[in-house]
Amino acid sequence: MTQLSINTARLISEINTLATFSDAPAPAVTRILYSGQDQAARVWLRQQILDAGLTIREDGLGNLFARWEGSEPGLPAVGTGSHIDAIPHSGKYDGVVGVLGGLEAIRALKEAGIKTKRSLELVMFTAEEPTRFGIGCLGSRAMAGTLKPADLLAMSDPEGNKLDELRQAAGFKKTLSGVQLAQDYYSSFIELHIEQGPRLERDNLQIGIVTSIAAPATLRVILHGDGGHAGATLMPGRKDALVAASEIVQEVERAAHESGSPDSVATVGLLQVHPGAVNSIPSKVTMEIDIRDTRLASRDGMVDRVIEKIEEVCGRRQIGHDVTILNRDNPCQSGEEIIQTAERVTQRLGYSYKKLVSRAYHDTLFMAQICPTAMIFVPSENGYSHRPEEFTADEEIAQGVEVLALTMAECANL
């Protein structure tokens, strides 16, 4: 097997530099789609890609593609990549390791003189995080055709800014009809990512090979009660939207505990109370609920149970309610041939590993609608992610890049 030299110092320096493009002070990172910091980070990233000798193209949504042509460029390419947008006050590794690590993997193959039959392509996906438009994996959903141009044109952020106006102001003026990829665009897609959980660190393992990705569903629930003065409205006549919400929150937790599946998780991650004054009865509550499982039946069972509880609570308490399912995606299974290739590479390199399920979802979930996919995980210290304390050791990142590079090279010669 060809020995690769991963330039760890270069890679870690780039990760640290990218973290400086942030609307939050270090060590936190906040980088929201189409913001000034997002734009500056993209300018910097494009330069690193050009310096590596790759060719760049961008679509109308801002998905960025960086290609190293293979010896038979007409064949479907092998893809890798992730995202660089960051939720408020998060860490510097989530997504970034897959983008800059993917770039380093291609550079390492080039520098080792390895030439592949298929082209290798790095993708920086637009907005894997749901921060601005309330739906995750915006770019990869559109690339897979799950989101159509009409869906994108209808989107606005919480301030009422239209996605179409924002993306054009950011310089992405190509037609949205050109975002969706052909089914034969890639032959395979492999994403490198931090685990965002404790399993690899707990088991003292270096590499995780992902066999499946959980199916997410997101619900937005708006409860309409009656407001009033907290001192003047007696308890028997109240229609308190927050008290109704509290019952629903508890049912969300129970639904996951009682689903019968070990991979069930359910979270109320957003609760907005109106008018938000200590001496005013809450008249309106907006909730967003995240429900996931690798088994579609279990996930959908939890969704149905929560909706039934919302209807029961609101009927009993005389609270109006609106329920919108923002997304209800299918789980994906990794491509068996890619899993076997990654496993062979990991064994030859002598790295310890395990096969595992990703309960967090990633852009790879939607790339699986285009081609066979897989993911490679590296450990997360204490399982932390989406917080400033997120950390993966330099050598662990380099090991993941090495596995990624050699797995891509093998897949690109099939």
pLDDT of 263-302, one tens digit each? Answer: 899 999 999 999 999 999 999 999 999 999 989 999 999 9
pLDDT for 2 equals 67
Q: Give the pLDDT mean for 6-17.
A: 98
pLDDT for 41 equals 98
Q: What is the CATH number of domain 8-214+331-411?
A: 3.40.630.10
Contact yes or no for 191/296 (Cβ under 8 A): no
Q: Where are the domains of the chain?
A: 8-214+331-411, 216-328
Positive or negative, the CA dihedral 322, 263, 250, 388 is negative
pLDDT for 256 equals 98
Residues in a beta bridge with 30: none
Intra-chain end-to-end CA distance of the chain, in Å: 16
pLDDT for 96 equals 98
Query: With 70 as the cut, is the pLDDT of residue 21 above it?
Result: yes
**Residue with tokens 């054009």, as numbered in its chain:** 168
Residue closest to 152 by CA, chosen among 185, 128, 171, 177: 177
pLDDT of 139-148, one tens digit each? Answer: 999 999 999 9
The H or E element spanning position 300 is: helix 296-317
In percent, the amount of the chain with pLDDT more than 70 equals 100
**DSSP conformational letter for 210:** E
Q: How many CB atoms lie within 10 A of CB 373?
A: 26
pLDDT of 146-184, one tens digit each? Answer: 999 999 999 999 999 999 999 999 999 999 999 999 999
pLDDT for 215 equals 83
Q: Give the pLDDT mean for 395-413.
A: 98
Question: Residues 228-265, buried b or exposed e (16+ Cβ, 10 A)?
Answer: beeeebeeeebbbbbbbbeebeebbeebbeebebebbb
State the chain's mean pLDDT as an integer: 96
Query: With 80 as the cut, is the pLDDT of residue 1 above it?
Result: no
Pick the CATH number of 216-328 from 3.30.70.360, 3.40.630.10, 3.40.50.300, 3.40.350.10: 3.30.70.360
pLDDT for 216 equals 86
Local confidence band at 327 (pLDDT 50, 70, 90 cut-offs)? confident
Residues in a beta bridge with 318: none
Contact yes or no for 215/296 (Cβ under 8 A): yes
pLDDT of 172-215, one tens digit each? Answer: 999 999 999 999 999 999 999 999 999 999 999 999 999 999 98
pLDDT for 86 equals 98
